[in-house]
Amino acid sequence: MTPLEQAVIALVQAQDEVKRLGKEIGAAICRSEEAQGEMIYPKEPTNWLKLAYQREREAADNGYGWEYYYVNHDDDIEGYLAEHSPHALQAHLLIQQRREARRVVGAARRRVSLIGRNLVKARTQEQS
């Protein structure tokens, strides 16, 4: 198998992993909302991920820039979600996995581009 074929296969596999994780994240969020029971309009299900990620900012002590802090917990997203919604915790963990999978996709894309550039360069040198 050529390096180009290997790079393309790695790219497709990485993209498929990102897609799979996205579907699992959606399913976990749905389970989180379903676990809250039926809501009476206009009340909506609590979005535990949104609450866990919610941050505010305030002026930094040194007077330059901003300091960010989490509104609902002290930098322990997983502990907060474990306490409130195991399904949202599962979604959070899957989101972290998807972040890494997206890095792999980026590396695979760069590899395919590099191989493609080298092939174009070799072709132009052959024609000259």
Token pair for residue 100? 């890494």
Under 8 Å between Cβ of 77 and 70: yes
Average pLDDT rounded to a whole number, residues 14-43 = 88
pLDDT (tens digit, 9 = 90+) per residue, 49-96? 999 999 998 888 887 888 888 889 888 999 999 999 999 999 999 999
The burial class, CB within 10 Å (0-12 / 13-18 / 19+), for 6 is middle
Token pair for residue 71? 């509104």
Give residue limits of the domains in the chain: 3-127
- What is the pTM assigned to this prediction? 0.81
Return the C-alpha torsion angle 80, 81, 86, 92, nearest 10. -150
